[in-house]
Structure 1
């Protein structure tokens, strides 16, 4: 079923967009803890984790290659409303000047969140992919985060990047 797979074609990845997998509205935390995922649901989550991790790797490769402007060009409108293209590019350049080039990225950790109207973050469903990354000028690993938002057209797009 195409709607269940997060299909990441080269054309879509170039624009940092991919069709969303069949997404259920986020359940309240208490209900999610009471009902364990079925084996099929666990497999679906694992597939999405791997696919979103791969998409985040492609975003990082573009950032590493000084193509941050292209990342912004394909980003979610929520990101574009929060930060302008020139500001995004200059902040990434400043971070890389301070940290140096990445020398090692460990396995990503994927998390999900949902925000409602009125929250500090624009409403929507988000997937965050965090990498413990070591940079040339930073001997201890720090968190490098690529965030994706499920946009209104049911397409995942980059909604943020940060290093902390």
Structure 2
């Protein structure tokens, strides 16, 4: 939702809730013949992701008469685990890999960001990456007293260690970030 003003003509649905309701609602909206499923999981073993992926695959196969050869045209993986991707049934030629050391919270800058890139378009995604680069540059080049990420981190340590604060709030400053 935060990026909807930048969206391209491609309809994108993100599903991450394991309860199945969200996926069921999305599956009502899509056409198996024109849908590409991007399964994004670093290890390809995360329970929530694989549960949803298996449900999506079962639905898809029911729509195409059980013909597993169609999976190669409609499923791609964003993962570091080629073995698990192949076990799932996705052709590893349709796997977008990235390095094992990429942490989950930072993975949008890796192949995991493909769904975002498709949703907002290449030019917008490139601007998104340049924004991240600007923050990195600020962090590495700005003097300590003006270094916003460093000061934020130090404040977090200060409030945790000296005041016993156990909660850290990052409040969105824009309505489109209300889901964060």
The TM-score range, normalised by the shorter chain, is under 0.3
- TM-score, structure 2 normalization: 0.23
- TM-score, structure 1 normalization: 0.24
More helix as a share of residues: 2
